[in-house]
Chain A
Amino acid sequence: MSTITLSMKQSITVPLEAENITPDNLAGKSVDEIKAVTVYHGNSEAVIGDFFDVTVEGSGNDPASTEIIMKGDLTRVKRIGEGMSAGSIVIEGDCDMHCGAFMRGGKITVKGNADAWAGREMRGGEIIIEGDAGNYVGSAYRGELTGMRGGKIVVEGNAGDYIGEHIGGGEIIVKGNTGVLPGLSMTGGKIIIEGTATMPGGEMTKGEIIVKGGIIDMLPGFKFEGEEEVDGATLKKYTGDLAVRGTGKGILLVG
C-alpha cells in the first residue's frame, strides 16, 4: 500500500492537462520520478514537479494498492484519473473537466465539485462526487455514439445538463436535481435522479431512468404504462422515446 500526495503549489488560470495522474502511471515511482511525469499546461509541455509538491508514503508497484491524494486549488486541473484501471484518487476540493474519462476500474472521490464530462465514456470503476457535477456526466464526447458503458457515478449534489448522454451501460445516481435532457439518446444502463429533471430520456431506445422528484416538461414521446413499486415508492411508468424508430424500449419511472 502506498499513498502519493500531490499538493498544488499555486492557483493557475490556464488549465493543466493531467491525464497522466493515475495510479497506473504513478504506482511504484519515487518522488523525483513522479515530479518528472509530463503534464501539459495549455499547449506547452511541463512536468508534475512544476505545479505540485509531491510526497510518497509506503511502497509497492501495484496500482490497485496505490492511493493518490490531491490537494490545493485543482479547479483548473483536467482529466485527472483518465483511463485508470485500479487504485484510488481522492481530490480534496473542486476539479476541472473530464475527471475519470475512459476510466476502467478503481475509484475516484471528489470532495468538492467536478466540472463537465466527469466519467465520460467510462467502462468500469466508481466515481463519487460529493459536491455538484457539471454537464455531460458519464456522456459520450462530441460525435461519439456511446458514452459510459459500465461502472458507477454517484453525485451527492446537483448535476448539470445532458447527463448520461448516449449512455449504454453502468449507473449514474444523482442525489439532487439535474438540468435538461438527462439520458439523451440513451441505449442502456440506468440513471437514478432523486430530485427533479427536465425533459428526461429524449431519443432513448433502451435503459432505465428513474426521476423521484418529478419531471419538468415531460417529452411527448413517452407512453404511460401504469404504476410500479420501486423501493417502497409508487412511481408512474412510461416507455419511449417513441419519437425515434424502434419499439420504445426505454423505461422512464417518475415519482
Chain B
Amino acid sequence: MTILIKNGVVFDPAQGIDGEKMDIAIDGDKFVEDVSSPDEVIDAGGRMVVPGGVELHTHIAGGKVNAGRIMRPEDGRKGRIPRGKLTRACSGFSVLNTFATAYTYARMGYTTTFEAAMPPLLARHTHEEFEDTPITDKGALVLLDNNWMTIEYAKSGDLDKLAAYVSWMSEASKAYGIKIVNPGGTEAWGWGKNCSINDPVPGFDVTPKEIIKALAQVNEDLGLPHSIHIHCNDLGHPGNFETTIETYEAVKDIKPSSDRQVMHATHTQFHSYGGSNWGDFESKADEIAKYINKNDHITIDLGVVMFCDTTTMTADGPMEYSLHTLSRRKWSNHDVELETGSGIIPVAYSPKIGVNAIQWAIGLELALLITDPWKMALTTDHPNGCPFTFYPEIIALLMSKAKRESMLETVSEAVGKRALIATIDRELTWSDIITMTRAGPAKILGMSDTKGSLKVGADADLAIYDIMPESFDPTKDYKTIEDKLMRTVYTIKGGEIVVRDGEITATPHGRTFWVNPAGKKAEAARDGMLEDLERMFRDYYTVSMANYPVQDEYIPHGVEIRTEVN
C-alpha cells in the first residue's frame, strides 16, 4: 500500500526539519521519496506531522506488571472500555491490561515501546505479553546486574567470560539490551541489606561500581546497539545525587562502540535528590543538569512524577520496602533466584505533600535545565512516576510557563523553598518535544536508522496531531496540547493506518527486536563460561539449563539484530 500525506507541517529533528510544510510518502512499511499514484491520500491540512513516538523506558509486560494487576483490582476498575469490533476489552489506570496499553500508546501517536526490566527467568512471560500487546514494535532490556554470574565475573575481572555470558543471555532471553537496577543492592536485599555504589556486595566482595564498569565495557566490546541502561543505586534516597554523579563518572573513560552515549541513566528524577532526610529533602536537578550539559557520554530519561494514585514497580526490592514503611500500603517483593528481585507498591503522589511536590518539580526541572534535547527522553518510568497517559500534560508544562504557574499555585509551598521550578523561564519548543519523544530515544536505543524519523528508508511510523503549529501558541493554549496529544488524527505504524480520528482502525502485531551478539568477543570465552553456567544451574537454579532459553515459538514476531565484533 502507498500513502501520500499532503500539506503537513512536519517536525523531524533527525533531518533538521523544524515545522516545514511538506509532503510525506509511504510505500509498504517504509518512507520513500515519492509515490506516483498513491492508494490513499491524507490531507493533513496544516496539522502537525511527526515521526511515531519512541518510548524507551516503560513497564508494560512481564512478571511484575502482572503482579501489579493482580495486586490492584481497584486499579482495574478504572479505564474500563468494552470490546469493540476490532478492539479487545480494556481496563486499568496505572496497570493497564496489554490491549489497553497498546491502544492507548497508539492513540497517543506512539509506535515503539520498550519494556525496561525483564528478569531472564521471566522472559517467556514478558514475550507472551508482548504477543498480546498489538500495534507497537517492542523490545525488552534484560536485568543482568544482580546476577551471580555477572557479579562473579566482575569480581574476577574476567571480561571475556562476562561478554560470553551477556551474549548468551541476550540470545537466551531474546533481549534487546542490558538493564542495570540498583546493582548489588537487589542481591543484598536477599540478605535484608542494600548497597550504595561503593559498598561491597554481601558475600561477593565486589562493589556496584565495579559491576557497572564491567558491564559497560562488555556492552561496548560486544558492540550492542544500545548502551547500558541503568537505574542507579540509592533511588529515592535524600542526598542521592552524589551517587548518581559518581555513577556517571565511573564510565567516563569507556569508549562507545557507535555514535551514542556510554550509559543511559533512567528515571533521573528519582536520582536527583539533595538533603539528608525527608525534612530537608530538596531538588538537585541543577547539579545533575550541569553534569549532563558538560559531558557527552551520558543520556538520561526524566521519570516525571505527576499527582495521582499510581503503582510503583521495580527490580529495586529494598526501595519498595522502604516506601512501604512510609506509607504502610500493601506491597509485595519477589526474589528471582540468583538473578534479581522486584517489588511493587501503590503510591499516591499528592500536591499537598512537600516531598511529592518537590519530586514533581524535579522531573520538569531536569527537562528545562538540560540544554540539549538529544540527551534526554521524556518518560514517567510508567507507571512509577505516573502512567504514560500524563505525557500530554507534561508536555504542556514544559512548553508553557503559564501552565506551570497555574499548577504551582496548587502545590505545597515546599516547592518554592526547596526546588527550582518557579525560577525557570525556559519554554520548550515543538522541536525539543519531538526530539525528546522520537529522534532522541531512537538514537539512544541505537535505532536511528529505522525509528524516530520520517527520512527515506526509515520505518513508516508516523503521527498526525490536530494542532496547527503555524497559528498555535503552545505557551498560552496549553489546554489544547493536553487535549490533542491524547488522540491523534492519524497514527500510521509500519505503513498501516492504525488510528483514524482517535479511534483504532487496525491492530497488527508489532515486532519484537532482540539482539544476538556474535563474533570473537562474544565467543572467545564461551566454553569456559558455559562450564561455569552449567555448574550454576546444577547447584542453584530451580530449572534446568536446557529448559531455560526462550524458544522461538514464544516470539513469532521477533526480529533478530546480529552484532558482530571481532
Q: Which A residues have a C-beta under 8 Å from some C-beta of B? A: 141-145, 244-245
- Contact residues in B for A141 (Cβ distance below 8 Å): 73-74, 77
The 4 A-B pairs with the shortest beta carbon distances in the complex, nearest first, are A143-B74, A143-B73, A142-B73, A144-B74
Residue of A nearest to B325 (CB): A245
The answer to whether B328 touches A143 (Cβ under 8 A) is no
CB A251 to nearest CB in B, in angstroms, measures 21
**Roughly how many angstroms separate A203 CA and B75 CA in the complex, as a whole number?**
23
CB A167 to nearest CB in B, in angstroms, measures 16
- Contact residues in A for B72 (Cβ distance below 8 Å): 143
Sample of 5 A–B contacts (CB below 8 Å): A141-B73, A141-B74, A141-B77, A143-B71, A143-B73
CB B67 to nearest CB in A, in angstroms, measures 13
Given A141-B77, A143-B71: 13 more A-B contacts, CB < 8 Å: A141-B73, A141-B74, A142-B73, A142-B74, A143-B72, A143-B73, A143-B74, A143-B75, A144-B74, A145-B74, A145-B329, A244-B328, A245-B328
- Contact residues in B for A244 (Cβ distance below 8 Å): 328
**Roughly how many angstroms separate A244 CA and B328 CA in the complex, as a whole number?**
9
CB B503 to nearest CB in A, in angstroms, measures 21
**Roughly how many angstroms separate A145 CA and B328 CA in the complex, as a whole number?**
12
**Roughly how many angstroms separate A244 CA and B325 CA in the complex, as a whole number?**
12
- Contact residues in B for A245 (Cβ distance below 8 Å): 328
**Roughly how many angstroms separate A51 CA and B71 CA in the complex, as a whole number?**
37
- Contact residues in B for A142 (Cβ distance below 8 Å): 73-74
**Roughly how many angstroms separate A142 CA and B69 CA in the complex, as a whole number?**
12
- Chain B, residues 320-333, CB within 8 Å of chain A (1/0): the string is 00000000110000
- Contact residues in A for B329 (Cβ distance below 8 Å): 145
- Contact residues in A for B74 (Cβ distance below 8 Å): 141-145
**Roughly how many angstroms separate A142 CA and B328 CA in the complex, as a whole number?**
18
CB A97 to nearest CB in B, in angstroms, measures 15
State the total of A-B contacts with C-beta under 8 angstroms. 15
In this complex, the member of B71, B77, B329 whose beta carbon has the largest number of chain A beta carbons within 10 angstroms is B77
CB B160 to nearest CB in A, in angstroms, measures 49
Residue of B nearest to A140 (CB): B74
Residue of B nearest to A245 (CB): B328
CB A138 to nearest CB in B, in angstroms, measures 17
In this complex, the member of A142, A143, A244 whose beta carbon has the largest number of chain B beta carbons within 10 angstroms is A143
- Contact residues in B for A144 (Cβ distance below 8 Å): 74
- Chain B, residues 72-105, CB within 8 Å of chain A (1/0): the string is 1111010000000000000000000000000000
- Contact residues in B for A145 (Cβ distance below 8 Å): 74, 329
**Roughly how many angstroms separate A17 CA and B411 CA in the complex, as a whole number?**
41
**Roughly how many angstroms separate A222 CA and B74 CA in the complex, as a whole number?**
30
- Contact residues in A for B328 (Cβ distance below 8 Å): 244-245
**Roughly how many angstroms separate A245 CA and B72 CA in the complex, as a whole number?**
22
Residue of A nearest to B71 (CB): A143
CB A204 to nearest CB in B, in angstroms, measures 14
**Roughly how many angstroms separate A248 CA and B367 CA in the complex, as a whole number?**
45
**Roughly how many angstroms separate A141 CA and B71 CA in the complex, as a whole number?**
13
- Contact residues in A for B77 (Cβ distance below 8 Å): 141
CB B304 to nearest CB in A, in angstroms, measures 25
CB A56 to nearest CB in B, in angstroms, measures 31
**Roughly how many angstroms separate A244 CA and B71 CA in the complex, as a whole number?**
20
Residue of B nearest to A142 (CB): B73
Residue of A nearest to B75 (CB): A143
Residue of A nearest to B329 (CB): A145
Residue of A nearest to B328 (CB): A245
**Roughly how many angstroms separate A142 CA and B77 CA in the complex, as a whole number?**
10
CB A19 to nearest CB in B, in angstroms, measures 13
- Contact residues in A for B73 (Cβ distance below 8 Å): 141-143
**Roughly how many angstroms separate A208 CA and B73 CA in the complex, as a whole number?**
28
CB A103 to nearest CB in B, in angstroms, measures 17
Residue of A nearest to B330 (CB): A143
- Contact residues in A for B75 (Cβ distance below 8 Å): 143
Residue of B nearest to A43 (CB): B82
**Roughly how many angstroms separate A144 CA and B329 CA in the complex, as a whole number?**
11
**Roughly how many angstroms separate A145 CA and B74 CA in the complex, as a whole number?**
9
**Roughly how many angstroms separate A79 CA and B27 CA in the complex, as a whole number?**
53
**Roughly how many angstroms separate A141 CA and B73 CA in the complex, as a whole number?**
9
Tell me the B285-336 residues at the A interface (CB within 8 Å): 328-329
CB A70 to nearest CB in B, in angstroms, measures 26
CB B311 to nearest CB in A, in angstroms, measures 11
- Chain B, residues 49-81, CB within 8 Å of chain A (1/0): the string is 000000000000000000000011111010000
Residue of A nearest to B77 (CB): A141
Residue of A nearest to B76 (CB): A143
CB B209 to nearest CB in A, in angstroms, measures 36
Residue of B nearest to A144 (CB): B74
- Contact residues in A for B71 (Cβ distance below 8 Å): 143
CB A98 to nearest CB in B, in angstroms, measures 13
CB B200 to nearest CB in A, in angstroms, measures 33
**Roughly how many angstroms separate A23 CA and B328 CA in the complex, as a whole number?**
40
**Roughly how many angstroms separate A245 CA and B327 CA in the complex, as a whole number?**
11
CB B317 to nearest CB in A, in angstroms, measures 21
**Roughly how many angstroms separate A244 CA and B329 CA in the complex, as a whole number?**
12
- Chain B, residues 327-366, CB within 8 Å of chain A (1/0): the string is 0110000000000000000000000000000000000000
- Contact residues in B for A143 (Cβ distance below 8 Å): 71-75
